Amino acid sequence: MNKTIAGLSASKHLDSLFVSLIGFILILIYTRHSGVGISPDSIVYVSVARNLNAHGMLIDYNLKPTVDFPLFYPLFLGVTSFISRIDPVAAGPYLNALLFAIIIFCTGKLIDSFTGTSRYYKLVILLSIAISPSLFDVYAMLWSETLFILLIILFMLAFTSYLKTRSVAGLIGCAIIAGLACVTRYAGITVIATGLMMMVFDRSLNWKKKIFHGALFSLVAIALLAANLFRNAMYSDSLTGPRESGITSLGDNIFYYGKVLCSWLPFADQYPAVYSAIAIILFVIIVVVYLKRSWFAVNYGTAENCFAAFFIVYTVFIIGVSTLSHFEQINNRFISPLFIPMLITITCWVPGVLTRLPVRQRSIAFAAAGLVILGFQVNELRKLYDMYQEARDYGIAGYTDDSWKKSQTAEFLRQHPEIFKPGYGLYSNAAEAAYFNGGLNAVSLPHYNIPDDISDFYKKKGMYLIWFRAIEDPDLITLSALRKRASVVKQYSFKDGDIYFVKPGINP
């Protein structure tokens, strides 16, 4: 009897395992040309991981303690590199493929717990995840989101289990996962907020237990983040690195948020006029559904509702923080943690409704649902194929693509580091590229809106400047601004960059 039950349990997850394998292979195929994609953020993670193994210190390519990013992802890369003896960049495609496969498998386990679900629904959702252009955009890169999204799914698994048992041990397990999410990305605070929201709106939990469990969960979950922020305060004037006030309005951020959501849906991305409307309507529907489940205590303590809660919390957080703080415009990378929650929240009710319909209506409904599924997945495959065409020919956009591999400036830097005389600073408009592609530790040019940094820069007796023409960072001081306050002499020139000697205080 036990063998029979074990066999049924194992076969129950074979479909999840199969789709996970598909996802694993597709990521490897996608990154085959040039390996995992590398952005400026990726170089920070890689340099910290390398320096952790080489020097036992959490320092970046500038040999300074990293505070702009939480520590868990570079620590994760460092530990996996130490164990495997493979550099994080070389291991990146396999590591990302494995994380992606685990996400698919764990999502399958969550779907198995849904009310009134079916195996066909599970396959449709898992295949939609495995071919998602939104997720491939992330899992083709060495970004902390790759681990962050997995921690979100693991939290859903753990919290769903806690809702069934209400055990303190289960709650502490949830808190530890939420804490790890916070030190993977600062946005991980939304995972803690999701757990608290689920407890606060849970009408089946008495207030004494609700307060005790909420306090315990918060204290354990916040401990790792507090330790990370305390460390940052020891090395920096700010807890999370320099942050600037927002310059994008709330309305614009809702538009950009809606633009990303519409890019996931067939045809919707072709009509910018509806971006904000679709974002608001979808958000309101999910809020109403969540509150209805809470009020009537129907299907409240379920994985489906956990996904809805996270969608609400993360949406409010990402739009709010984008309005209050200035950083990169809301894009797919920032919103990607919502892809699986959104997909599940707007579809999880379908299997139950279809099975309750009369036979004749059910056939029509199944046909209509099939057409919607076909349209959605054809749209995903078309976009993914277009992305693959570019990645296959040129590599993943970033510092490992063909343009950087063939960079004359970077090749010269690697071969002739002796040209930089001791006693002078080394600066660049892309310090991460000087490190990753040129093998040198350079300092970034100061930001034009930070007067103290600019003042310190012009007090130096002289410095070398590596200028990459492919990089355009509007936040940094420009060459024309430099020439107004310093002698800027070109020493070497290449197709894609130049090397200057800069002597401040001399009127050119």
pLDDT, one tens digit per residue, over 474-486 is 889 989 989 988 9
Please give the pLDDT value at position 76.
Answer: 97
Give me Rg for the CA atoms of the chain.
25
> How does pLDDT run across 404-452, given as a tens digit for each residue?
999 999 999 999 999 999 989 999 999 999 999 999 999 999 988 778 8
The yes-or-no verdict on residue 153 having pLDDT over 80 is yes
Q: Could you tell me if residue 122 is inside a domain?
A: no
pLDDT band of 2, cuts 50, 70, 90? low
The two tokens of residue 471 are 């990089």
Across the range 310-332, mean pLDDT stands at 92
How many helices (H) and strands (E) the chain has is answered by 23, 7
Q: Could you tell me if residue 174 is inside a domain?
A: no
The two tokens of residue 423 are 């006693």
Give the side-chain half-sphere CA count within 13 A for 60. Answer: 20
68 exposure class (CB count in 10 Å sphere: 0-12, 13-18, 19+): middle
Across the range 42-58, mean pLDDT stands at 94
Q: Could you tell me if residue 278 is inside a domain?
A: yes
Q: How many CB atoms lie within 10 A of CB 337?
A: 27
Handedness of CA 264, 267, 272, 275 (dihedral sign): negative
Q: Could you tell me if residue 334 is inside a domain?
A: yes
Q: Which of 306, 323, 352 is the last residue of a domain?
A: 352
Q: Which of 290, 322, 352 is the last residue of a domain?
A: 352
Please give the pLDDT value at position 1.
Answer: 46
Q: Is residue 341 located within the same domain as residue 424?
A: no
Q: Could you tell me if residue 109 is inside a domain?
A: no
Which amino acid makes up residue 345?
Answer: T
Q: What is the pTM of this model?
A: 0.93
Q: Could you tell me if residue 222 is inside a domain?
A: no
Pair 176, 300: CB distance under 8 Å: no
Across the range 139-148, mean pLDDT stands at 97
Please give the pLDDT value at position 260.
Answer: 96
Across the range 185-205, mean pLDDT stands at 95
Please state, in angstroms and rounded to a whole number, the distance separating the CA atoms of residues 254 and 235.
35
3-state secondary structure of 64: coil
Q: Cα dist. 357→121, 124, 366 in Å?
A: 17, 20, 10
pLDDT band of 309, cuts 50, 70, 90? very high
Number of domains observed in the structure of the chain? 2
Across the range 317-326, mean pLDDT stands at 91
Q: Is residue 332 located within the same domain as residue 259?
A: yes
Please give the pLDDT value at position 6.
Answer: 47
Q: Is residue 335 located within the same domain as residue 259?
A: yes
Chain centroid, CA 200 distance in Å: 28
Average pLDDT, the chain: 92
pLDDT band of 507, cuts 50, 70, 90? low
Please give the pLDDT value at position 161.
Answer: 95
Q: Which of 327, 352, 377 is the last residue of a domain?
A: 352
- Which residue segment(s) compose the domain that 343 sits in? 243-352
Lowest pLDDT segment from 115-119, 142-146, 306-310, 367-371? 115-119
Q: Could you tell me if residue 398 is inside a domain?
A: no
Q: Could you tell me if residue 288 is inside a domain?
A: yes
> How does pLDDT run across 254-294, given as a tens digit for each residue?
999 999 999 998 888 888 999 999 999 999 999 999 999 99
How many Å is the maximal CA-CA distance in the chain? 89
Q: How many CB atoms lie within 10 A of CB 200?
A: 12
> How does pLDDT run across 341-366, given as a tens digit for each residue?
999 999 998 888 888 888 888 888 88
The yes-or-no verdict on residue 193 having pLDDT over 60 is yes
Residue of 455, 475, 468, 472 whose CA lies nearest to 494: 468
Contacts of 383 (CB under 8 A, 6+ apart): 133
Residue of 135, 137, 144, 136 whose CA lies nearest to 48: 144
Q: Is residue 497 located within the same domain as residue 418?
A: yes
> How does pLDDT run across 3-30, given as a tens digit for each residue?
544 444 556 789 999 999 999 999 999 9
Q: Is residue 498 located within the same domain as residue 415?
A: yes
Please give the pLDDT value at position 9.
Answer: 56
